[in-house]
C-alpha cells in the first residue's frame, strides 16, 4: 500500500463520507478537499474542514501510518505547520504540533471499499507489459481517447523543455533554435550528437549567407562537419567542395569537427550522415529561415513537401564521397520525414505557439499530428496486442508518453484508464 491510494480516494471522494470523525471521536465535516499539491510540502492545500464546530482552513497531509509524520521529519519542517487534518490509513501514533496540541487525524482504512483496494493491489502487483494489460479492454473507448488527447499535449509540453534550453543557448533566437532542433532531428538516431555539434559550430547566419549557392552551402556543411577532407576529396565535385571550404574556413575562422564523431556502422546507406547532410542542404538552400515559412503552412503535406526537396546531382548518385550510390537517396524518405515532423517540427510549432500565446499555432500543431500515420515501433505494436490501436501519430505519441511516464512507474492512479479500472468489479 502506498500513499497514492490515499491521494486518489481523497481527490475522487471514493470513501465513506458518512459520519466522519477524528481518531479521538470528534465530528468532521469536509467543506473543501483542497487542491492536490504535486510539489514539495503537504499533499493538499487550501482545504477547509469543520471539526467540532470550529472551522479550519489550511493543508491536509496523508500517510499510510500516522507515525510516518515523524519518520518523514515533518515535525521539524515549517511547511507543515498549517496542517489542519492528518489523513492516514492506520493510526499508530498521535501526532503533536510544536505547541503540544494534537493534529486531528482521520483514519480511512475501514472507509475505502474493499473492491478498490483489491484492484489497486492487483495493478501494483501485476508484472505484465503494462500492469493493466489483461483488463484494459474493459475500459470504454471514450475514456481512452480523451486521456490520449491529454497525454499528447503533455508530451509536447515535455518536449518544449528541450526547446527552452535551445532558446536560452541562442539568446532567444527562434530561427537559430529551430535550425539546431532540425539538425538534431536529421541525425537521429545514431548521429544526433554530431549533428547538434555541427549546428552549434555553424551558426545560421553563415548558412543564410551562402544558402543561395548550393556548392558553397554544401562546402560549408560538409567541410565544417569534418566529413570532407583532403583524403576523401578525390573526385572533381568533392575536390571543388574542399577548395571552397578552404576559402570559407579562412574567411570565417572555422574549425571543422573531427571526422571520428560520425557513425556509419550498422545503418543502411540512405541513413548515412553524408546523405542526411545533403538532404539538409537541399532544404535550407534559398530558404534558411525555415520556421517562419513552416509556421505559415496550413497542411502537413506542405511541410512534408518542403522536407523532400531533391538533393544536388552528386548526392543523387553517392552515399559517401567517392562511393557510387545505387538506391534512391534523392529526397528524404517518407517515414523519416514523418518522424521529423512528429518529433521536432510539430512540437516546436506547439512550443512557439505556447510561448507567444498563439492558440492557432498550438491547435495547428496538434491537428497536423492527428493527420500523420501512427508510428510502428515495438511499443506501439505491444499496445495493439493489449487492445489499444493508435489511429494516428497523436495517439501513438500519447501511448509512448503513457507507457514511459505512467505504466512503467505504476502511476495507475494518476491515469484516467487506471481510475476506471480501479472501480471495476470482477477483476481477475
Ligand atoms: S498507467 Fe494506466 S494504462 Fe498504464 S498500466 Fe496503469 S492503468 Fe494501465
Q: Could you give the angle at the alpha carbon of 206 between the alpha carbons of 201 and 209, nearest 5°? A: 170
SS3 21: strand
List all residues 6 or more positions away from 107 whose beta carbon is below 8 Å from its beta carbon.
Answer: 23, 88, 89, 90, 91
CA–centroid distance, residue 134 to ligand 1 (Å): 11
- Closest atom of ligand 1 relative to the 403 alpha carbon: 4
- Closest atom of ligand 1 relative to the 418 alpha carbon: 7
Contact by Cβ (8 Å): 3, 62: yes
Site of grid cell 471499499: 113
Q: State the number of CA atoms in the 13 A half-sphere of 132 facing the CB.
A: 30
Ligand 1 residue neighbourhood (C-beta within 6 Å): 123, 130-132, 136, 402, 406-407, 411-412, 415, 417-418, 421
- Closest atom of ligand 1 relative to the 406 alpha carbon: 1
SS3 32: strand
CA–centroid distance, residue 409 to ligand 1 (Å): 9
SS3 155: helix
Grid cell at residue 131: 500492469
Site of grid cell 477483476: 427
pTM score, whole prediction? 0.87
Grid cell at residue 83: 496542517
Residue to probe by mutation, ligand 1, list 151, 390, 395, 417, most atoms within 8 Å of CB: 417
CA–centroid distance, residue 301 to ligand 1 (Å): 34
pLDDT confidence of residue 44: 97
Residue to probe by mutation, ligand 1, list 132, 135, 422, most atoms within 8 Å of CB: 132
pLDDT confidence of residue 326: 65
Contact by Cβ (8 Å): 373, 338: yes
CA–centroid distance, residue 413 to ligand 1 (Å): 8
List all residues 6 or more positions away from 361 whose beta carbon is below 8 Å from its beta carbon.
Answer: 295, 349, 350, 352, 353
Nearest CA to ligand 1 atom 4: 407
CA–centroid distance, residue 158 to ligand 1 (Å): 19
Q: 39-56, pLDDT tens digit by residue? A: 899 999 999 999 998 999
pLDDT confidence of residue 356: 96
CA–centroid distance, residue 169 to ligand 1 (Å): 37
Contact by Cβ (8 Å): 106, 87: yes
Distance (Å, whole) CA 383 – CA 385:
5
Low-confidence ranges of the chain (pLDDT < 70): 325-329
pLDDT confidence of residue 241: 96
pLDDT confidence of residue 427: 75
Q: 281-296, pLDDT tens digit by residue? A: 999 998 889 999 999 9
Nearest CA to ligand 1 atom 6: 412
Amino acid at each position: 500500500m502506498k500513499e497514492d491510494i490515499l491521494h486518489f480516494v481523497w481527490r475522487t471522494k471514493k470513501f465513506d463520507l458518512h459520519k466522519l470523525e477524528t481518531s479521538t471521536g470528534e465530528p468532521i465535516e469536509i467543506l473543501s478537499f483542497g487542491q492536490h499539491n504535486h510539489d514539495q510540502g503537504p499533499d493538499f492545500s487550501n482545504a477547509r474542514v469543520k471539526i467540532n464546530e470550529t472551522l479550519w482552513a489550511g493543508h491536509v497531509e496523508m500517510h499510510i501510518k500516522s507515525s510516518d509524520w515523524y519518520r518523514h521529519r515533518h515535525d521539524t519542517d515549517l511547511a507543515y505547520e498549517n496542517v489542519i487534518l492528518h489523513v492516514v490509513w492506520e493510526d499508530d501514533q498521535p501526532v503533536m504540533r510544536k505547541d503540544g496540541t494534537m493534529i486531528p487525524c482521520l483514519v480511512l482504512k475501514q472507509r475505502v471499499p474493499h473492491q478498490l483496494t483489491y484492484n489497486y493491489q492487483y495493478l501494483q502487483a501485476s508484472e505484465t507489459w503494462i500492469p493493466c494489460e489483461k483488463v484494459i479492454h474493459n475500459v470504454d473507448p471514450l475514456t481512452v481517447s480523451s486521456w490520449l488527447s491529454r497525454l499528447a499535449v503533455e508530451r509536447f509540453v515535455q518536449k518544449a523543455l528541450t526547446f527552452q534550453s535551445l532558446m536560452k543557448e541562442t539568446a532567444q533566437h527562434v530561427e537559430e533554435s529551430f535550425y539546431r532542433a532540425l539538425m538534431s532531428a536529421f541525425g537521429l538516431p545514431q548521429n544526433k550528437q554530431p549533428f547538434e555539434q555541427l549546428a552549434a559550430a555553424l551558426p545560421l547566419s553563415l548558412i543564410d549567407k551562402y544558402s543561395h549557392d548550393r556548392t558553397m552551402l554544401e562546402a560549408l556543411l560538409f567541410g565544417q562537419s569534418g566529413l570532407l577532407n583532403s583524403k576523401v576529396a578525390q573526385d572533381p565535385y568533392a575536390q571543388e567542395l574542399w577548395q571552397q571550404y578552404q576559402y570559407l574556413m579562412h574567411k570565417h575562422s572555422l574549425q571543422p569537427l573531427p571526422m571520428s564523431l560520425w557513425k556509419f556502422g550498422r545503418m543502411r546507406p540512405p541513413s548515412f550522415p553524408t546523405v542526411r547532410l545533403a538532404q539538409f542542404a537541399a532544404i535550407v538552400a534559398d530558404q534558411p529561415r525555415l520556421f517562419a515559412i513552416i509556421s505559415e503552412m496550413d497542411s502537413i503535406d506542405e511541410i512534408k513537401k518542403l522536407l523532400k526537396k531533391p538533393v544536388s546531382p552528386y548526392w543523387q548518385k553517392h552515399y559517401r564521397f567517392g562511393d557510387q550510390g545505387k538506391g534512391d537517396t534523392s529526397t528524404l524518405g517518407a517515414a523519416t520525414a514523418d518522424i521529423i515532423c512528429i518529433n521536432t517540427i510539430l512540437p516546436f510549432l506547439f512550443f512557439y505557439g505556447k510561448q507567444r500565446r498563439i492558440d492557432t499555432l498550438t491547435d495547428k500543431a496538434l491537428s497536423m499530428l492527428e493527420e500523420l500515420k501512427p508510428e510502428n515501433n515495438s511499443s506501439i505494436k505491444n499496445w495493439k496486442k493489449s487492445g489499444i490501436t493508435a489511429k494516428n501519430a497523436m495517439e501513438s505519441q500519447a501511448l509512448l508518453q503513457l507507457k514511459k511516464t505512467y505504466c512503467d512507474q505504476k502511476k495507475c492512479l494518476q491515469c484516467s484508464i487506471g481510475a476506471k479500472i480501479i472501480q471495476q468489479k470482477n477483476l481477475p
